Amino acid sequence: MKTRDTSTLNRVSYGAGHGLISAKNMLFHFFFLFYFANVLGLPEWQVMAATFLAIVIDAISDPVMGQISDNTRSRRWGRRHGWILISSVPTALALTLLFSPPDGMSETALFFWMAGFMIGTRVMITGYTVPYFALAADMSSQYDERTSIVGLRTIFENLFNLLVFVLGFLVFLPDRAGLEDGMLFELGYAPLALTLGLIGIIGALVMTAGTWNRLPATQPRDWSPGPPWHHAFSNIAKAFRYAEFRTLTIGFSLLVALYSSISQLSIYVSVYVWRFDQVQKLIASLVPFAVIIPAAIFAGWLSRRKDKRIAVLWLTWTFGLSFSLPFALYLLGLTPPLGSDALLWLVAITSGTGYAGMVGALILSYSMMADVSDLVTFKTGRKREALLFASFTFANKLAFAIGLVMATLGLTLIDLPDAALPSEVGNETTRMLAVYSIAINLGLATLAWASYRRYAMTRTRHADLQKQLSQARSVEGGISEL
């Protein structure tokens, strides 16, 4: 029985294509709110409002792009590769301009600069991410190989994420004389964004070259024109009729909301609660990345032993509980002194464990969505990988916006001063931040776990589905039209 559809070169090259996505994600998740609110002084509610609007527009564009990618009929570029290449340069340019506002802008002008280029970045990268994630399902039809492809992609994702922290904390935003924290150095953000954008473009070229031989696998079964792009949202509603798609999307979206909230708060926690310097922030960021490869291997092993659903349930609780532990110890007065190396290792190890849970849950969730795409293909007779992954990301981006709102609402309720120095934030404020972090972690993890419990696709069921698909290859159309 055939167990591999792809070569090592295919899988490694595909992973290298995540550079631009990581650049955008890390800058948005960890640096963006702090830069505009605490460095440039925009009110946090303005940053939140603009970001929420941008994410909603971005989320709406995902299903449209999924429909466009699925309906692309190009024998030279396939349904994925051409869109990935053509979207990379404008995305990198918009990201760089976002972090390069001209000096002397009024608050109103700065708001519109921020909102305009943030929306531009998110819309441009939609043309990259939707075909890119769909390509993982196109590359292989093998149940366990899909986990391997997504696992290797996740390893590259986190290596690129690590690069963002290294360049940010040590190269462009190091501790400087006259600043209480290197994150307050305004002039470092623009060159950081430019450098990461260029790295992302190079990664897109590597990915295209290394997966070019898989282009035939991206081609449609039916070369007649598919439904027009404006049918995307009615098709999303139809996709949600499938319980497997619905429960998987809701569960993962809740984890995305959790990740969104803790990532937005992480810089604030490092600066104001733990009182870490820039080197300590980097070390705390490095330790989670040390678990990436073991986490990917463990997720694959656990899913083979217990199946994907059971593995995700275990990993979800690992995620929520581990990130909550240091805050609980802080509230009980059991943490080492603030800013100490002992506190650094406590935070690093617990966040590393939590991050391992998140990495494993992410890998398996995307692998599970590839399995769900086979179910939809069988039911409808059409290959709709991009639309399904776009629907998946549509829900996840809305969840990310909710996580952002939760984080910003928490900062507003806590009443953290704008552009505050660490020495200006009192103990009561930091304790409130710790309590809020625990509530978000445990609440969202519980809801995600409850949704994943209802996911019904198993290895045995998928094997039967593949047999049925093989028997139906010669039959065009299907039971119903998605």
| CATH, residue 53 | 1.20.1250.20
Residue 430, domain extent: 13-214+233-471
Tokens of 214: 């898989």
What was the pLDDT predicted at 382?
65
**Is 21 inside any structural domain?**
yes
Domain count, the chain: 1
**Is 478 inside any structural domain?**
no
Residues 6 or more apart whose Cβ sits within 8 Å of residue 375: 242, 244, 457, 465
**Is 2 inside any structural domain?**
no
**Is 140 inside any structural domain?**
yes
Which candidate, 355, 384, 386, 231, places its Cα nearest to that of 293? 355
What was the pLDDT predicted at 231?
60
**Is 220 inside any structural domain?**
no
What was the pLDDT predicted at 93?
97
On whether the CB atoms of residues 56 and 247 are closer than 8 A, the answer is: no
pTM above 0.75, yes or no: no
**Is the dihedral angle over the CA atoms 264, 267, 268, 270 positive or is it negative?**
positive
Tokens of 347: 């935070």
**Is 481 inside any structural domain?**
no
**Rounded mean pLDDT for each run of 10 residues along the chain, 482 residues in total:** 73 93 90 88 85 81 78 79 92 96 92 95 91 83 78 85 90 84 89 96 93 76 57 68 85 88 84 87 79 83 87 91 93 92 91 88 84 75 64 74 83 72 80 91 92 85 77 50 40
**Is 42 inside any structural domain?**
yes
On whether the CB atoms of residues 232 and 69 are closer than 8 A, the answer is: no
**Is 6 inside any structural domain?**
no
What was the pLDDT predicted at 343?
94
Backbone angles phi, psi at 418, to 5 degrees: -65, 140
